[in-house]
Copies of this chain bind each other. A is one copy, B any other.
């Protein structure tokens, strides 16, 4: 397709580099931006530039942050003895959205994936082991997406940190809310049986 202007062509090319955005969507976005005020378009462009340039990674947990130590790590009210290990920043955001966790995080930056050439040394695993050893952590929770790679990573780290006397756990795998039992895959259903939760124990009168 030919575009009437090199400027719009450049913008479409850049926008269509984003995930899930093809050239048609990019054109729609570009035409939308053209209809905005100059301030609004500039504000969007500058936010994108600043995002990559100004964002920092917490030196403690590797979560994205505005400063050297993120506001979760520097929050005195949070439980420093429980550590949740995640793959990515978006997992921290998702877990924070539940309001069910008040401990600390550790962002690995991925999971072990030999097929993609990602080994333990490319991830923030050494620092996790160091934290577990030095910071007096009592429990490490793995919160990975359900995949072979996630399980492998959890197993690998668990073996390394168990000697430090920490409890190691993983978030539950089971039937998600709203999903019919009959449509659930066999592995999930099998795990949900194995990891059943107890509702009541027998009472002896």
Contact = CB atoms under 8 A, between A and B. Distances in A.
A78 interface: no
A115 to B, nearest CB: 19
A60 interface: no
B97 A1 contact: yes
A19 B11 contact: no
Interface stretch (A42-50, A148-156, A170-178): A42-50
A121 interface: no
Contacts of A18: 29, 32-33, 44
What is the predominant secondary structure among interface residues of chain A facing chain B?
Answer: helix
Contacts of A89: 4, 31, 34
B11 A48 contact: yes
A46 B11 CA distance: 9
Contacts of A36: 52
Interface in A72-95: 72, 88-90, 92-93
Nearest to A90: B31
Interface stretch (A63-71, A129-137, A180-188): A63-71
A42 B50 CA distance: 8
B4 A65 contact: yes
Interface string A4-31: 1111101101110111100001011111
Nearest to A70: B4
A7 B55 contact: yes
Interface of A: 1-8, 10-11, 13-15, 17-20, 25, 27-34, 36, 38, 40-55, 63-66, 70-72, 88-90, 92-93, 96-97
